[in-house]
Amino acid sequence: MEVNTLREVLLIDIYDHHIAQKFINRSGLAHAIAVAYHAFHLAIEREVDPDIATKAGFLHDIGHFTWYKNGKWDYDLYKQNDIHAIKGAERAHKLLIRLGENPVKAKEIALAILFHTDSFLPSNEIVRTPLQQVVKSADEKDEEEGGMHHYRTIDKERARKSLNRLDKMIEETMKKST
């Protein structure tokens, strides 16, 4: 097996952790993977760290809570009370540190998750770093009307293959730049 020296944690390590299994499925695994891929391509285009960008993309919605009322998703409840960016930043950070992520990267990923949406902010005047903008744009690229992007499905086998493939793409890019 090839020894990985460039990255402490792989996307597939994150995927395999039970915390990710529980919370990423909640907001849509297919969406999480699609956003990770968009984040990768945007990161290359805008010259930001693809490892950090893809991890933030993959984990950006990990803070979602299920706002159900009488067995149905209640969009008004969600709009009023949602703090998924805040919760996601913290949850992703905890998960990454547990997996042995470099703490500098873990903080950058957490901040990119915190600022990936304006929905909880009192105004949208925040100035994002290029990395934070990459994650926000990656999410917007995969958005579908009525929040349908959260309901697309992907089977486990395909999910694993997609993440392994993306891990390899990140590794290759990082090798080239060292």
Binding region for Fe ion (CB under 5 A): 61, 139
Which residue, 61 or 108, has its beta carbon nearer to Fe ion? 61
Cα 152 from Cα 147, distance rounded (Å): 10
Which residue, 7 or 152, has its beta carbon nearer to Fe ion? 152
Using CB atoms within 10 Å of the CB of residue 61, give its burial: 0 to 12 exposed, 13 to 18 middle, 19+ buried: buried
Half-sphere exposure at residue 152, Cβ-oriented, CA atoms within 13 angstroms: 17
CB of 139 to Fe ion, least distance (A): 4
CB 24 within 8 A of CB 62: yes
Which residue, 101 or 139, has its beta carbon nearer to Fe ion? 139
CB of 28 to Fe ion, least distance (A): 8
Helix (H) or strand (E) holding 69: strand 68-69
CB of 100 to Fe ion, least distance (A): 26
Ranked by CB distance to Fe ion, the top (closest) residue is 139
Which residue, 93 or 149, has its beta carbon nearer to Fe ion? 149
Nearest to 139 by CA among 79, 63, 70: 63
CB of 79 to Fe ion, least distance (A): 15
